[in-house]
Amino acid sequence: RFTKGELRDALARDEFTIYLQPKVRCSDDCIVGFEALARWNHPTKGLILPGEFIDLFEEYGLETIWMEKLVRLVTSCISDKLPEGMHLSLNMSMSRHSREFASRFPTMIRSTGTASSRIVIEVIENGLNDATTEDIEMFARLRLNGFELSIDDFGSGYSSLSRLVQIPFTELKIDRSFVREVRDSAEARNMLRSVVSIGRSLGMAVIAEGVEDAETLEIVKSLGCDIVQGFVYSRPLPIEQAVCWMFQSE
Ligand code: G
Ligand code: G
Ligand code: MN
Ligand code: NA
Residue 91 Cβ contacting ligand 1 at under 6 Å: yes
- Where in the chain are the domains? 4-248
Q: Quote the ligand 2 centre to 229 CA distance (angstroms).
A: 8
- Is 15 one of the catalytic residues? no
Cα–Cα distance between 115 and 170 in angstroms, integer?
A: 16
**Which ipTM was obtained for this model?**
0.97
Q: What is the pLDDT along the chain (250 residues), one digit of tens a residue?
A: 999 999 999 999 999 999 999 999 999 999 999 999 999 999 999 999 999 999 999 999 999 999 999 999 999 999 999 999 999 999 999 999 999 999 999 999 999 999 999 999 999 988 898 899 999 999 999 999 999 999 999 988 888 888 899 999 999 999 999 999 999 999 999 999 999 999 999 999 999 999 999 999 999 999 999 999 999 999 999 999 999 999 998 7
Cβ neighbors of 69 (< 8 A, separation 6 or more) are 11, 14, 16
Q: Hey, which bits of 186-225 come out as E strands?
A: 205-209
Q: Whose CA is nearest to atom 23 of ligand 1?
A: 91
Nearest CA to ligand 2 atom 20: 210
Collapsing DSSP to helix, strand or coil, 29 comes out as: coil
Q: Are strands 227-229 and 205-209 parallel, antiparallel or unpaired?
A: parallel
CATH number belonging to the domain at 4-248, selected among 3.30.200.20, 3.30.565.10, 3.20.20.450, 3.40.640.10: 3.20.20.450
Q: From the CB of residue 208, how many other CB atoms can be counted at a distance below 10 Å?
A: 29
Query: Hey, which of 23, 37, 39, 49 would you mutate to test ligand 1's pocket, going by the most ligand atoms within 8 Å of its Cβ?
Result: 37
Pocket of ligand 2 contains residue 37 by CB under 6 Å: yes
CA distance linking residue 182 with residue 217, whole number of Å: 10
Does the pTM surpass 0.95? The reply is yes
119-124 and 227-229 strand pairing = unpaired
